[in-house]
Structure 1
Amino acid sequence: MSESNSRKPRLGLVGLGIMGAPIARRLRERGYDLTVWNLQPDYFDRVKDSGASWAESPAAVWEASDVVLVCVLGDDAIESVCFGEVGFARARQGAKILIDLSTTSPEATVRLAKRLRDEKGSRWLDAPISGGPKPAGEGELTVMVGGDAIIFHKAERVLRAIGRNVTHMGDLGSGQKTKILNQAIVGANYILMAEILATCRAAGIDPDLLPVCLRGGLADSAILQRIYTQMSAEDFDPPRSYVRQVNKDLKSVTHFVEGLGLRLPLIDVAVRQYHRYADAGNDMEDGASVSRLYQNAEDHK
């Protein structure tokens, strides 16, 4: 499966959403043969001009590929892609490695990986990603990987085609556990940035000057420079992420923390605030638009 001494592996990609489409384009730019499928066929228009090939089902993607990447929304979606009526398990032959770029629960990862190995003899890497659509298209993602070290090394060059920072975190499920920690940091900071923005405005400080002033200091971060500035500019269309996804990820944070027997009040408050925004009918808004929760003075007293 290595690229070093033979041809590049044939790749498949299931999921052409906000992250999947730029990943597909990036893989084509890197010279990979790529076969794709998405539940909504019109999404193929996002990548058609890249030279990617369309397949009529996940099973057809599997048969056309050596390595298949999946970038879908959660446990139910990836289980359907793998074992549904037209899923990978229906293929006669095909890929030897599945790379799950989705944010999937660690429990589902272990369960589905065992079933895929039993039914198809194929191996699974959980490799959730962080960074956003622009880094995805530029090969600048952060990729946190769980799975057998030998399988990781076989697939590493594919992962490095999309990721600037690729780290093998340990056994199967370790990538997803790391992504939960990542989402706890991101989710809590979404709420913090929203509250800092509200505080700036209430205090009469120009909110656009804050990231300029703090750049390079201890309080600086990618969240401050990217998400806070997006909130300040009300730059939410088109969405770079969806509230429904962040909200789902934060529910996973709660489940994970409770399973460890921990009480983490800071994270708990952030999770509840984000749920509040999502439950108000904002599922398909940009994830950073949670700042609107604080636009009325009564909301942040």
Structure 2
Amino acid sequence: MLDANTPVAKAKPRIGFIGTGLIGTPMVQRLLECGLSVAVWNRTPSKAVPLVEQGATLADSPRALAAACDIVCLCLTNTAAVHDVVFGEQGIDAVLRAGQLLIDLSSIAPDTTREMAENLASTCGARWIDAPVSGGLPLARAGRLIVFAGGAADDIARAAPVFDALSQRVTHMGGHGAGQLAKSCNQMIVACNLVTIAEMLAFARKSGIDATQLPGALAGGFADSLPLQVFGSRMAAGVVTPRIGGLGTFRKDIDQVVRLAGECGAYAPMATRASEVMLEASHLESVGADPDVSRIITLFLERSASGSTSPDTL
């Protein structure tokens, strides 16, 4: 029998998760491992089947999911996809409740994020947190992602059951859209790093040293980075499967950075060049449709082989 001094366990929130793709799947797995009740929905239902086998519940629609959950998480490909799920013809805004949390883990436009958050608050009173992540598949699987959060501080505090399961650190960057802006800064560094890593490895191979030894040789020094150890090792060894980071996704993010830089008057020549290189790499027939970003090295290898080494020809 409970008495006044007996602690009462706080009920765990019911989590809904929309978007079980490359990064969304390990996120859901982490939530399940942490004992949370998770309902999932994905545009391609087959991608959600393994998660159902691991304990998730498959929702009939995004609206059914949102109506049955306390916190709704989104992990979708782009701004348009997020807008469609929330405000489209079958948008979840029709069933979201006042005070209900929506956590957008996608990497999308900061300006549109602010507009959608304001729209959602005015139409149904639901609370928006933009919470893009960094760390890729290895940290997603380990529940060690980095979260850049935008929104109200008390809403972010209420999202703790989700963030505790998924991340090692959550930084409150400011109001709506601030999390997305921080992710844009992250993607500037990562995209420029990936392009430089590919250039360096192609140079190493052309100059006659064993490029496969370089990630290990550089580990711990000033040139080291997580992208070097994860993607650089794959580039050097020619490993492109399984896909752990889509070239198209990086292109989308860096193109957005270039747009934002232009709009606010920031000088961003490196991001602009990275965008151009990734665009050209994605057009190579030899890399296929939306390959792993490790295939970016193909551009440098092919240009080196053909003698087209001038920056103007890249």
Name the TM-score, length of structure 1 as normaliser.
Answer: 0.94
Q: Which one-letter code corresponds to 2:113 in the other structure?
A: T
Residue 287 in structure 1 maps to residue 293 in structure 2: yes
| Deviation larger for 287-296 or 260-269 | 260-269
1:80 is matched with 84
Residues 6 and 299 of structure 1: is their aligned pair in 2 closer, same or farther, counting only changes over 3 Å?
A: farther
Contact 1:63 1:94 in 2 (8 A): no
Q: 2: CA distance between counterparts of 1:257 and 1:161?
A: 33
Residue in structure 2 matched with residue 71 of structure 1 by the alignment: 75
Q: In structure 1, what is the equivalent of residue 205 of structure 2?
A: 201
Change (3 A) 1:67 1:58: same
CA distance in 2, matches of 1:257, 1:99: 26
1:269 pairs, out of 267, 273, 278, with: 273
Superposition pairs for residues 48-59 of structure 1, below 5 Å?
48-59=52-63
State the secondary structure of the residue aligned to 2:159. helix
Quickly say closer, same or farther: Cα 1:263–1:8, change in 2 above 3 A.
Answer: same
The alignment partner of 1:73 has SS state of coil
**Alignment coverage as a number of residue pairs:** 298
Shift of 1:142: 1.1
**Equivalent residue letter for 2:121:** R
| Residue range with higher mean Cα deviation, 280-289 or 19-28 | 280-289
Give the residue type in structure 1 aligned to 2:231: I
Residue matched to 2:3: none
Could you list the runs of 5+ residues in structure 2 that have no partner in the other structure? 1-7
Q: CA deviation digits over 1:114-140, x for unaligned, max 9?
A: 111122211000000111123212101
- Among 241, 245, 249, the residue aligned to 1:245: 249
Larger Rg: 2
Q: Is the 2:258–2:268 contact (alpha carbons within 8 Å) kept by the matching residues of 1?
A: no
Corresponding residue for 2:239?
Answer: 235
**1:71-110 mapped onto 2 (5 Å cutoff):** 71-91=75-95, 93=97, 96-110=100-114
Indicate which of 135, 138, 144 corresponds to 1:140. 144
Percent of aligned positions with the same letter in both sequences? 35
Task: Give the superposition deviation at 1:182.
Answer: 0.7
Partner in structure 2 of residue 211 of structure 1:
215
CA pair 156-277 structure 1, distance change in 2 beyond 3 A: same
Alpha-carbon contact 1:66-1:95 (below 8 Å) kept: no
Q: Distance in 2 between matches of 1:94 and 1:263?
A: 41
Q: Report the alpha carbon displacement of residue 55 of structure 1 after superposing the two structures with TM.
A: 0.7
Aligned 8 A contact 1:126 1:176 in 2:
yes
Alpha-carbon distance change, 204 to 163 in structure 1, aligned in 2, over 3 angstroms? same
Q: After the TM superposition, which parts of structure 1 deviate over 4 Å for at least 4 consecutive aligned residues?
A: 92-95
Distance 2:66 2:214 in 1: 49
In structure 2, the CA distance between the partners of 1:93 and 1:261, relative to structure 1 (3 Å rule), is closer
Provide the C-alpha distance between the structure 2 equivalents of 1:214 and 1:238, rounded to a whole number of angstroms.
25
Which residue number in structure 1 is paired with residue 66 of structure 2? 62
Is 1:35 aligned with 2:3?
no
Residues 82-132 of structure 1: per-residue CA shift (max 9 Å, x gap) = 012222123275870000000110111111111111222110000001111
For 1:224 and 1:291, how far apart are their aligned partners in 2? Answer: 13
Residue 299 of structure 1: how far off its partner (Å):
4.4
* Equivalent residues of 1:33, 1:52 under 8 A apart: yes
**Could you say if the C-alpha distance between residues 184 and 165 of structure 1 is closer, same or farther in structure 2, counting changes exceeding 3 Å?**
same
For 1:10, the equivalent position in structure 2 comes to 14
Which of 246, 257, 261 in structure 2 is aligned with 1:257?
A: 261
Q: Give deviations 1:2-27, integer Å, cap 9, x for gaps.
A: xx951111100000100111111110
Whether 1:26 and 2:33 are equivalent positions in the alignment is no
CA contact (8 A) 1:98 1:122 kept: yes
> Could you tell me whether the CA contact under 8 Å between 1:57 and 1:87 is conserved in 2?
no
Structure 1 spans left out of the alignment, 5+ residues: none
Post-superposition offset of 1:264: 2.3
TM-fit CA distance, 1:270: 1.4
